[in-house]
Homo-oligomer: A and B are copies of this chain.
Amino acid sequence: MRVLVVEDDIELQGQLSRMLEHSGFQVNLAADGQEGLYYATDYDIDVAIIDLGLPKMDGLELINRIRDKDLDFPILVLTARSGWRAKVQGLDSGADDYLTKPFQPEELMARVNALLRRASGKTHTKIVHGPLALDLKKKTVLNGDLEMDLTAFEYKVLEHFMMHPKVIVNKARLVDCLYDYNEEKDSNVIEVIIARLRKKLELQAKFKPIETLRGRGYRFNPDNHDGSG
């Protein structure tokens, strides 16, 4: 198992590599984002530990570049910022877990192992239906050759649809995709998002996969190239 460590703090670097090697990992050390990207590309990495605060290339940018190259090893983010926002941002951008500095060595090892375990069971990170190709890691969707420009909400709804094709999904369930917790009754968020999604889907590829089933919900049916919904 090969671990890529991208960390500019020399002391922490040494600490990490000692711990990891002690647990039987091969370790690649990089001190900045550029170097990190080089290793990520040219070595067969199983898991990466990336510090967010890096010289030359920011940690988040590094993650984006890695995912852009379709490298899908799991990424553990190290962050000094303890703010909630920074964390979510990290996970949204293609990272799989994060750890706030300072941390206990055992916790880091536990998380690395957990990521490897999870990764071994994960087969497909891409879902393809018709002209649409969704990348769960990168959180992007290609419509034909073009990458769709989706908002966070549009993406969440489309992801749910593509993970549950040909299933009638009621609106309450779709609302669950958007908010952690929400029991609001009189809102038409879903209708609005569906409308925008349809527009974007149709724009690029005359593709009308979202059917309406009045009173029952919506259904994603990639076979509808003409659209009955």
Task: State which residues 74-129 of A face B: CB under 8 Å.
Answer: 85, 88, 92, 97, 106-107, 109-111, 113-114, 117-118, 121
B216 and A139 form a contact (CB under 8 A): yes
**Segment touching B, from A9-17, A24-32, A163-171:** A163-171
A168 engages B183 (CB within 8 Å):
no
A177-218 CB mask vs B (1 if < 8 Å, else 0) is: 000011100000000000000000000000000000111110
Q: In the bound complex, how far is the Cα of B45 from the Cα of A206, in angstroms?
A: 46
Chain B nearest CB from A115 CB (Å) reads 9
What is the minimal beta-carbon distance from A163 to any residue of chain B, in angstroms? 11
Taking CB atoms and an 8 Å cut-off, the chain A residues in 144-162 that contact chain B are: 151-153, 155
* Docked CA distance A107–B170 (Å): 21
In the assembled complex, A176 has its CB within 8 A of some CB on chain B: yes
Per-residue B-contact encoding for A18-49, CB less than 8 Å = 1, 0 else: 00000000000000000000000000000000
A126 shortest CB reach to chain B, Å:
13
- State the Cβ distance, A116 to closest chain B Cβ, in Å: 10
Among A114, A117, A216, residue most surrounded by chain B Cβ atoms (within 10 Å) = A114
B168 touches A110 (CB 8 A): no
Shortest A135–chain B CB gap in Å is 9
Cα distance A152–B216 when bound, in Å? 6
A183 CA to B107 CA in the complex, in Å?
9
In the complex the two chains form, is A167's CB within 8 Å of B138's CB? yes
Contact of A118 among B113, B176, B217 (CB under 8 A): B176
Bound complex: CA of A97 vs CA of B173, how far in Å?
A: 15
A118 touches B173 (CB 8 A): yes
Whether B117 contacts A183 by the Cβ 8 Å rule is no
How far, in angstroms, from A216 to B151 measured CA to CA in the complex?
8
User: A107-B181, A181-B110 known; A168 and B216 CB under 8 Å?
Assistant: no
In the assembled complex, which residues on chain B have CB atoms less than 8 Å from the CB atom of A138? 166-168
Please give 9 more A-B residue pairs, beta carbons under 8 A apart, in addition to A118-B176, A121-B169: A106-B183, A114-B181, A117-B172, A121-B164, A121-B167, A139-B216, A139-B217, A151-B214, A151-B215
